[in-house]
Structure 1
Amino acid sequence: MSRVHCPRCQRPQSHCLCPLIPRLASRTRVLILQHPDEVRHALNTARLAALGLCNAELRIGEHFPELEAELAGRQVWLLFPGAAALHVEALAGQACGEERVLIVPDGTWRKARRLLHCNPWLAALPRLSLAEGLVSRYRLRKAPGPGALSTVEALVHCLNALEGQGRFDALLAPFEALIDGQIAAMGEEVFRRNHLRESPET
């Protein structure tokens, strides 16, 4: 018999995260484009981010031809690294007379690049990058390198930089609870043996 899942956060009902998900207003409109392979991922932080932001939308797919016309004439930025990417702190200092639209690809680096490949207009957008050296709080998976953050973490860093430090930290509460729940399910001993990072020598 399959477990009953919450229709909103899609977690098992016994581990529903909805009480921890905030509803935060932002001047920036957030549009998360999720690769289909990520939909049933245990750590679907894109859904958590979309649920926690009033001005956010989650769309699933590989091809988004409708968006090019929908966003024509808008101030649109792609949160994705690149040689010509503008640091988000620099954008925060620029005056903005209209609503900014922030597009965030959701998936592994390979899948995110696939989204850009399938949507040339997306790859051509001006890009934003985050500060170097940011470390993910996802303690159950070794990141491929510094700056490899989950979608919700990347959004928190970006929106905090654009609209005020600390304003969007509450988005991380369900993310932390999700990780704690996975650690509890595997057991502390297994977690320490397989995932706990060693402390650097002093």
Structure 2
Amino acid sequence: MSRPRCERCLRPQDHCLCPLIPNLDSRTRVVLLQHTSEQSHALNTARFAALGLVNAQLRVGEVFEDLPELLATPGYRPVLLFPGDEAEVLGTYGAEDDQALLLIVPDGTWRKARKLLYLNPLLEALPRVTLGQVAPSRYRLRKAPEPGALSTIEAVVQALNVLEAPASFNELLRPFEALIEGQIAAMGRETFERNHGE
């Protein structure tokens, strides 16, 4: 019999992380497009990002039929947070009249994220933005496919920290860090060190 789950964070109720999820406002609107295969992942970081930000939403799927309406959200300039040769390095907002971004963030493995772009040509056509200085990932349970690879929530936090400096969005990482600590505790510190240590 499966353990009862929290309906908000989807964690088992005895490991609910809702008390650690902040309620942060941002000038930037964040839209997380989650590949369906990520939805049931134990470390569903996109969900925590969406829950912790007032001006954010999480969409799950492969083909997003309502993208035209989504990208036309009044008052925002849509961009895709995804590396590429043409990607512009994010900088801090300038004057008050600098238009706020609608930051579209694909969530999934690199392969799945690229598939989302392929299946949604409107995404592929968006101007791309990327992070300049990337702080090392705290995601100690996954071997990064390349240096500078981040979990979705870390990428969102680092992007918002740059865009909206001096505001800090690091509080968003609290449930993520608790999740990782919980996973390490469950596997045992020795096993963790053996498999994931330097």
Amino acid at match of 1:48: F
Q: Distance in 1 between matches of 2:136 and 2:86?
A: 23
**2:78–2:126: 8 Å Cα contact kept in structure 1?**
yes
Q: Distance in 2 between matches of 1:111 and 1:144?
A: 14
Please report how far the alpha carbon of residue 71 of structure 1 lies from its aligned counterpart in structure 2 after TM superposition.
2.1
**1:132–1:146: 8 Å Cα contact kept in structure 2?**
no
Q: Distance in 1 between matches of 2:29 and 2:192?
A: 37
Which residue is equivalent to 1:21?
21
* Map 1:128-139 → 2, pairs under 5 A: 128-139=129-140
Q: Distance in 2 between matches of 1:23 and 1:66?
A: 27
Which residue is equivalent to 1:145?
146
**1:88–1:128: 8 Å Cα contact kept in structure 2?**
yes
Amino acid at match of 1:138: Y
Q: Distance in 2 between matches of 1:119 and 1:107?
A: 15
Which residue is equivalent to 1:32?
32
Secondary structure of residue in 2 paired with 1:6 = coil
Q: Distance in 2 between matches of 1:27 and 1:34?
A: 22
Amino acid at match of 1:129: T
Please report how far the alpha carbon of residue 70 of structure 1 lies from its aligned counterpart in structure 2 after TM superposition.
3.5
Amino acid at match of 2:117: L
The share of aligned pairs that are identical, in percent, is 62
For the structure 1 residues 26 and 166, does the alpha-carbon distance in structure 2 shift closer, same or farther, using more than 3 Å as the test? closer
Which residue is equivalent to 1:196?
197
Please report how far the alpha carbon of residue 110 of structure 1 lies from its aligned counterpart in structure 2 after TM superposition.
0.3
Which residue is equivalent to 1:85?
87
**1:134–1:146: 8 Å Cα contact kept in structure 2?**
no
Amino acid at match of 1:50: A
Please report how far the alpha carbon of residue 166 of structure 1 lies from its aligned counterpart in structure 2 after TM superposition.
5.3
Amino acid at match of 1:32: L
Please report how far the alpha carbon of residue 20 of structure 1 lies from its aligned counterpart in structure 2 after TM superposition.
0.3
For structure 2, the residue ranges without an aligned partner over 5 or more in a row are: none
Please report how far the alpha carbon of residue 165 of structure 1 lies from its aligned counterpart in structure 2 after TM superposition.
4.2
Which residue is equivalent to 1:63?
63
Using structure 1 for the length normalisation, give the TM-score: 0.92
Number of residue pairs matched by the alignment: 196
